[in-house]
Amino acid sequence: MTTSLSVLAVQASAFTLGCAAIHAARNHAAVLTRWLTGAAAFAAALLVSGTTMIRTPDDQAYSDEVAIYAAIAHHPPQTR
């Protein structure tokens, strides 16, 4: 009788520890996911702000979508 109770106690303890480990891992994963999402958003913002600050080769004006479109419209790419 004592052996069967101790086996049940060990199983219950193992189950409880397993649930606690899963719960802790989920919380850790949620925090890690939030941090990585924030880091990715920050990196994207840096990338976008960096590309908008790229100067043209003659260093007279900033290159942007309008300037690129105007350059393509005045000098269309040549196709074969």
pLDDT value of position 57: 60
Residue 69's DSSP bridge partners are none
CA atoms within 13 A on the CB side of 59: 0
pLDDT tens-place string over residues 9-61: 888 888 888 888 888 888 888 888 899 999 999 988 888 777 666 655 655 55
> pTM surpassing 0.85?
no
Q: What pLDDT, in 10s, does the model give residues 48-67?
A: 777 666 655 655 555 566 77
Q: Please list the residues that pair with 63 across neighbouring strands.
A: none
Does pLDDT of 2 surpass 70? no
Domain boundaries, the chain: 2-74
Cα(65)–Cα(70) distance, integer angstroms: 9
Length of the chain: 80
CB contact at 8 A, 54 and 62: yes
Residue 78 to residue 76: CA distance in whole angstroms: 6
